[in-house]
Amino acid sequence: MEKLESDLLRTFLAVAQAGSVTDGAQRIHRSQSATSQQIKRLEAILGQPVFARHGRGVVLAEAGRKLLPIAQEVTGRLDAALRDMSQRAVTGKLRVGIPDDHGRAKLSQILSAFMRHHAQVELEVTCALSTEFPGALEKGALDLAIYEVEHPKPHEELIYADPTCWVAASHRDFSGEEVLPVALFDHACWWRDVAIASLEARGKPYRIAYSSQSVAGVMAAVDAGMAVGLLGRSSLHPGLTVAGERLGFGATPASKLVVATGGAQESAPQAVMKEAIRRAFLPGV
């Protein structure tokens, strides 16, 4: 009887995190064919597929979703045992920047996974609007940060793509408004720039009825029916409706959530935190 091996689980996790066999192979420094063979072997052992094709990449199948937390726990425990027994515990201080919208949902998960295995690292977390994070990394004020961009640069690792859309409260119809009230971020940031460009492309009058520094603030104004706002689809809830097409807006770009590190060489705390972040943003987690 064949058994599940940790090496197969690590390959499975790499592909799941990357969203494709090719990118997953690069993460574990193996050829695409060798990685594909390991996934096929894993599926043969389980008797069912762990991935389903999705465009140019893959997504978790039902068996993959069930296997994901098991693979994370097994490989995490093995890594922790190796660190403890080889006395190679990760130490030092790590200053991390996490955006307030994604931070609220994922922060506790990321910190829990990190501190469970790296209790000797002193962690300093900044949870705020991420506009200043790239500059803080360059100046050495942060060691690692998650922030949003439209087009990731080579040093920025994509961890999540969130389509954007104009939304309104379900109980509020703005189609008859001559001057459309909008809620925007009050900082010069990616979200505000995209929203204003979309409004100008629409070619109709608008007024900024509400400004906020946070996603929560913009969403509060939209929920109250005060204005329409540009939000990520991941932020939608039953009280909101997508109103862009109805109000004459064109398509808006997806928000790309990336992780980047500061410094010339990646430290051990930076490397293990990046891995915890990847795990937290896995599909279905």
Local structure of 38: helix, strand or coil: helix
Q: What is the pLDDT of residue 85?
A: 64
Q: Domains of the chain, with CATH numbers?
A: 6-85 (1.10.10.10), 90-159+256-280 (3.40.190.10), 164-253 (3.40.190.10)
For the residues 147-159, what does the mean pLDDT come to?
87
The total number of residues written for the chain in this structure: 285
Instruction: Give residue 28's pLDDT band: very low, low, confident or very high (50, 70, 90).
Output: confident
Q: What is the pLDDT of residue 104?
A: 59
Backbone angles phi, psi at 272, to 5 degrees: -75, -30
Residue 172: how many CA atoms within 13 Å on its side-chain side?
Answer: 22
Which among 230, 212, 97 is positioned nearest to 167, based on CA atoms? 230
Q: What is the pLDDT of residue 166?
A: 97
* Angle (CA) 185 170 187, round 5°: 0
What are 259's strand-pairing partners?
A: 146, 157
Greater pLDDT, 66 or 89: 66
- pLDDT > 80? residue 280: no
- What are the residue ranges of helices labelled H in the chain? 6-18, 21-27, 32-46, 62-86, 100-117, 133-139, 190-202, 215-223, 268-280
* pTM, to two decimals: 0.65
Amino acid at 80: A
Instruction: Give residue 50's pLDDT band: very low, low, confident or very high (50, 70, 90).
Output: very high
For the residues 212-219, what does the mean pLDDT come to?
85
- pLDDT > 60? residue 224: yes
Q: What is the pLDDT of residue 230?
A: 95
- pLDDT > 70? residue 138: yes
- pLDDT > 80? residue 283: no
For the residues 43-67, what does the mean pLDDT come to?
91
Which among 124, 135, 233 is positioned nearest to 188, based on CA atoms? 135
For the residues 223-229, what does the mean pLDDT come to?
95
Amino acid at 236: L
165-197 pLDDT, tens digit per residue, is 999 999 999 999 999 999 998 877 788 999 999
CA dist 284 and 60 (Å) reads 8
* Angle (CA) 50 54 55, round 5°: 150
Q: What is the pLDDT of residue 206?
A: 97
Q: What is the pLDDT of residue 276?
A: 83
